């Protein structure tokens, strides 16, 4: 779906200008987002710009002659889900634009960790949503991806002057990456993203760097275990990740952080994915020094199509997650991108 802005009122002078002016080239239908790879430390030096890493859904906004589309990183059209954000885009002073950013649910204390706000947004609840914009790829018929990052961000900041409160410019720090990362962590933020100041926009390439404050990562769900005692529907989710060679490796289980409502939602989501055969390249260990016995006969295997984000304390020597807590499902992430980055 696209949201249409009101056309400007026609006047003889405007009509005459329109006859003389060639309509700008519309923005591309879809641009694959530039990606970031996880690293342990932020780079130093003035050739790097550093931004706050927001905890939300990566989104693109496409504006074409007043028509807006909100697109996920997988090119899904989610305009219907966020009509208020789409309407805000129509109020920008441009006919054609293509923007990159992070859609976040903002809590009263300013933190952007409220995935439920993003998932459950409606016309009445979208006041809690903010689209933090950090890149401008196309404007009024001009391809900006070939420009250096700092030039694109300067154009973006100018475009967002006077924009609605739900659209915010994500500013940056030039140089001093390690210090910026330390301050971000002290303020309870997820982390930072470091980008080369003179870098061009490179679709589908992991040339940005992300440095997290907490051990958080996405994993693909490979199954679930039966509940025990008074547990509801699901005992724990079994997690996996892909190696560079494409092998699906078991990473451990997560059973905490899921209230009854979420357990019921996850259980419904998993039913169509159920299969008879385990797709892991190697079976999970039945028990470890740090966890209870896993009874494989009580495991329900699923196709690896569902991605969840978890927090964790560490990786054990056996290569399994420890102190794991469920955060949310990540519909915006592809299973193949779950690479199980290890921090020890």
Which residues carry out catalysis? 53
Please say whether the beta carbons of 236 and 255 come within 8 A: yes
Tell me phi and psi for residue 16, to 5 degrees.
Answer: -65, -40
Q: Which two tokens stand for residue 74?
A: 């997988």
Give the pairing of strands 48-53 and 173-174: antiparallel
Q: What residues contact residue 290 under an 8 Å CB cut-off, 6+ apart? A: 316, 320, 322
- Furthest C-alpha separation in the chain: 80
Please say whether the beta carbons of 234 and 266 come within 8 A: yes
Q: How far apart are CA 336 and CA 210, in angstroms?
A: 18
Place of tokens 């190696």: 243
Q: How far apart are CA 341 and CA 249, in angstroms?
A: 12
Residue 75: CB atoms within 10 A of its CB come to: 12
- C-alpha distances (whole Å) from 208 to each of 35, 40, 174, 175, 344 are 6, 13, 15, 15, 23
Q: How far apart are CA 296 and CA 59, in angstroms?
A: 39
Upper half-sphere CA count for residue 57 (Cβ side, 13 Å): 32
Upper half-sphere CA count for residue 244 (Cβ side, 13 Å): 1
Residue 245: CB atoms within 10 A of its CB come to: 6
Helices (H) and strands (E) in the chain, counts: 6, 20
């Amino acid at each position: 779906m696209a949201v249409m802005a009101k056309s400007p009122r026609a006047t003889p002078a405007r009509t005459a200008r329109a006859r003389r002016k060639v309509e700008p080239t519309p923005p591309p239908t879809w641009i694959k987002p530039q990606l970031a790879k996880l690293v342990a430390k932020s780079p130093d030096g003035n050739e790097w710009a550093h931004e706050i890493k927001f905890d939300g859904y990566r989104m693109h906004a496409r504006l074409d002659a007043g028509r807006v589309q909100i697109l996920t990183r997988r090119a899904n059209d989610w305009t219907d889900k966020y009509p208020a954000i789409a309407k805000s885009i129509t109020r920008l002073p441009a006919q054609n634009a293509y923007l990159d950013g992070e859609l976040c649910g903002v809590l009263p204390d300013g933190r952007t960790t409220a995935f439920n706000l993003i998932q459950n947004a409606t016309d009445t609840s979208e006041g809690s949503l903010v689209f933090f914009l950090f890149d401008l790829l196309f404007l009024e018929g001009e391809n900006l991806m070939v420009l250096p990052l700092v030039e694109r961000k300067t154009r973006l900041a100018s475009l967002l002057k006077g924009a609605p409160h739900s659209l915010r410019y994500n500013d940056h720090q030039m140089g001093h990456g390690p210090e910026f990362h330390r301050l971000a962590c002290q303020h309870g933020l997820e982390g930072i993203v470091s980008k080369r100041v003179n870098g061009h926009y490179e679709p589908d390439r992991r040339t940005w760097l992300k440095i997290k404050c907490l051990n958080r990562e996405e994993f693909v769900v490979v199954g679930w275990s039966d509940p025990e005692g008074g547990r509801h529907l699901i005992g724990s989710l079994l997690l996996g990740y892909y190696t560079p060679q494409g092998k699906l490796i078991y990473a451990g289980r997560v059973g905490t952080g899921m209230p009854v409502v979420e357990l019921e939602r996850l259980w419904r989501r998993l039913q169509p994915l159920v299969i008879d055969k385990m797709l892991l390249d190697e079976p999970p260990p039945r028990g470890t020094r740090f966890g209870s016995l896993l009874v494989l006969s009580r495991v329900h295997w699923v196709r690896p199509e569902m991605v969840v984000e978890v927090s964790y304390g560490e990786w054990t020597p056996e290569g399994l997650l420890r102190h794991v807590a469920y955060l949310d499902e990540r519909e915006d992430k592809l299973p193949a991108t779950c690479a199980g980055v290890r921090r020890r």
